[in-house]
Structure 1
C-alpha cells in the first residue's frame, strides 16, 4: 500500500469532478419537507399515491446504486483519484436513498409508508429494472457496468423525477422538488464522469469489439425502455401525462448516450419538447433552507443561484 499523492496528476478530470462533487455536498435534513404539508393536503388521493410511488421507486433504485452499483464500479477505477471520486458518489447515493425516506415520512402516516414500500418491493416493472441492472453489476465487464450505471441514473431515474418537477412548475411541493433538484445535480455529475471514463475504455477496444459492444448496449437500452414505457403507462395514465413522461425519458436517453460519446437516439426528443411545467420546475430559483451555509438547489456553499437547463445537463 502506498499513500495517495494528490499532487500527482493522472487524469485532470478526476480532480475537477472531486472539487465539483464535494462543493455540492448537501443533506436532506436541511430541507424542511414537512413545510409542503399545506400543498399535500390539497392533492387528491390519486395524486398522493402517484407521488408516493415515484418517490418509493427512487428509493429502491438508489438503494441498488448505493449498496451494489457504486461499489462494483469503484473496483474498476483507472486511477486512485477516480476511486476517491467514486467514494464521494457512494456517500451521495446513500444520502439520496435516505432523502426519499425523509420525503415519505414527512408527508405520510406510517401505514401509508408501509404500503409504498410493499409496492416498490413487488411491482413487476420496478423489480425488473433492479434485477436487470444488478445482473450487469454482478457479471458484467467494466464497460458494461458503466453503461448500466449511466442508464440507471440517467434514464430510469427520470421517469420518477418528472412528477416532482411538474408540481414545482406549478409552485407546489417546493421542498420535495428541492430535494429532487439537488439529486438531479448530483446525478448529472455522476453520469458525465462515468460517461467520460467509459469513453476512455471504449477507445481501447478494436473496431470489431466496438461494434459488438454497441449492439449489446443498444439491445440493453431497447429492453430497459420497453419496460420503462410500460411502467410510465401504468403510473401516469391517471394524470394524462404518459406522452409527456415518455418524451422526457427519450430526452434523457439521448443525454446518457451523448455522455458516453454516442449520437442521440431520438431526433425529436429535445429540450424544447419537454413539458413546459417540467422545464419551469427545473429552472425555478433555488430555495434557501440554511441561512448560514446557503444550501439550496444552487447549493455551492456561499453562492445561491438559480438552477438552469445548463445545470441540469452539467
Structure 2
C-alpha cells in the first residue's frame, strides 16, 4: 500500500514553540539590498590599512561559516525533526543563513576591488584556524549523533560568529561604518533566535536521556567548547593582534560561549558576564532603530515587532 503523504497543518500545532519561532523569523525578514552600504565609503577610506585588512578577513570568515550552516548544518538538523512545523522553521533558518552569506558579498562589492575580493576568498580557503573550526563543526554534522549536531549548531550560531561580529559593533559604538553594522545587527537578531530555538530542540532530546547518557553528552559538549575556544583565541589573535583588540574580543567570546551553553540548558563555563564586555560593544548590540526607510518608515531591522536585539531574555530555557 502506498504511504499517504501528509500535508502540513498550521491549524494543528504539536509544539507551540515551532509556531512562535516561525512568526518571529518571518517578522524579522530582511534583504541586504535595502541597506545603503555605499554611505559608509567615507568612513572606510579613513581607516588604516591594518583595519581594512582585519575587516576584510572578519567578513570573509563569517561568509565561510554562514555557508557551512546553510549548506550542511541545517540539512543535518532536519534529519531529526519531531514535527513538520519544525522542518518549516529549519527551512526558514536555512534560507536566512544563505542571506547572511550573501550580505557579506554585498559589503565586499561596496568596499573592495575585484582583486581584493578574490584575495579575501582565497584567504578563507587557506587560513588554517578558520578551516579548522569549519572542519570540526562539519565533521559533527556529518558523523555526530542528532544531539551532538544540535550542540555544534548552537556553538556555531551563538559563539563562533562573535569573533567576527566584534569589529562592526566596535565601529558602530564609535559612530562609524553604521550601515555595515546595520547588517550585522540584523544578522545578530537572526542568530539569537536560531541559537535559542535549536538549543530548545536539544533540551527536549537531552531531557529524555538517562542520567549516564546526559553526563556523557554534557562532558562531550564542554570538551568540544574547550577545543573550539582554544582555536578561536588563536584566530582572534591573528585577526586583532596588530590593532591591540585581542583581550577585548576574548571577553566578548567567553561571554557568548556562556550564552551558547545557556541555550543548551547548561551552566556557564567562564566567569565573564555582560558587565565585563566592553560597554561600547554592548551598546552597539542594543542600539535601537536608525533612520533607514525600507518599506514604511519602519527603521532599523524593519522594526520587527517584539523582537529585540540580543537581549538576555532571548537566551531562555523553553521548557
The match for 1:109 is 113
Name the counterpart of 2:92.
Answer: 88
Residue matched to 2:141 = 137
Partners of 2:294 and 2:306 lie apart in 1 by 11
Q: How much does 1:49 deviate?
A: 0.5
Matched length = 312
Q: In structure 2, which of residues 229, 242, 252 is the aligned counterpart of residue 238 of structure 1? A: 242
Secondary structure of the structure 1 residue equivalent to 2:126 = coil
| Structure 2 partner of 1:251 | 255
Q: Deviations over 1:278-300 (max 9, x none)?
A: 11211233224334334543424
Seen in structure 2, the aligned counterparts of structure 1 residues 291 and 231 have a Cα distance that, compared at 3 Å, is closer
* Cα distance in structure 1, aligned partners of 2:310 and 2:67: 28
CA contact (8 A) 1:31 1:175 kept: yes
Q: Which residue of 2 aligns with 1:208?
A: 212
Query: Could you say which residue in structure 2 is the equivalent of 1:63?
Result: 67
Residue 175 (str. 1) matches residue 163 (str. 2):
no
Change (3 A) 1:110 1:24: same
Partner of 2:167: 163
Match of 2:287 in 1: 284
Of residues 222, 227, 236, the one that matches 1:223 is 227
| Structure 2 CA distance for aligned equivalents of residues 57 and 295 of structure 1 | 31
> Runs of 4+ in structure 1 displaced over 3 angstroms?
293-298, 303-314
What do residues 56-91 of structure 1 show as CA deviations (whole Å, max 9, x unaligned)?
100000000011001111121111100001110011
Does the residue aligned with 1:54 lie in a helix, a strand or coil? helix
Under a length normalisation based on structure 2, what TM-score does the superposition of the two structures give?
0.94
1:153-191 deviation digits (Å, cap 9, x = unpaired): 111100000010001000000000000010000000000
1:199 to 203, 222, 232: 203
Pairwise CA distance, 1:310: 4.5
Contact kept in structure 1, 2:294 and 2:302, CA below 8 Å: no
1:50 equivalent to 2:50? Answer no
Q: Is the 8 A contact 2:182 2:301 kept in 1?
A: no
- Equivalent residue runs for 1:22-41 within 5 Å: 22-41=26-45
Give the conservation status (yes or no) of the 8 Å contact 1:286–1:305: no
Indicate yes or no: 2:265 matched with 1:271.
no
Q: Once superposed, what is the RMSD of the aligned Cα atoms?
A: 1.7
Alpha carbons 1:57, 1:126 under 8 Å: kept: yes
In structure 1, list runs of 5 or more residues that go unmatched.
none
Cα distance in 1 for residues equivalent to 2:198 and 2:72: 16
1-structure distance, mates of 2:299, 2:77:
29
- Structure 2 residues without counterparts, runs of 5 or longer: none
Q: Which residue of 2 aligns with 1:299?
A: 302
Deviation at 1:276, TM superposition (A): 1.7
Contact 1:155 1:249 in 2 (8 A): yes
Q: Is the 8 A contact 2:188 2:310 kept in 1?
A: no
Residue 14 (1) aligns with residue 18 (2): yes
The answer to whether the 8 A contact 2:30-2:301 is kept is no
The answer (yes or no) to whether the contact 1:294–1:304 under 8 Å persists in 2 is no
SS of alignment partner, residue 300 of structure 2: coil
**Preserved contact between residue 298 and residue 304 of structure 1 (Cα < 8 Å):** no
**SS of 1:299's equivalent?**
helix
Q: Matched residues in 2 for 1:131 and 1:305: separation?
A: 32
How far apart, CA to CA, are the structure 2 residues paired with 1:68 and 1:307? 26
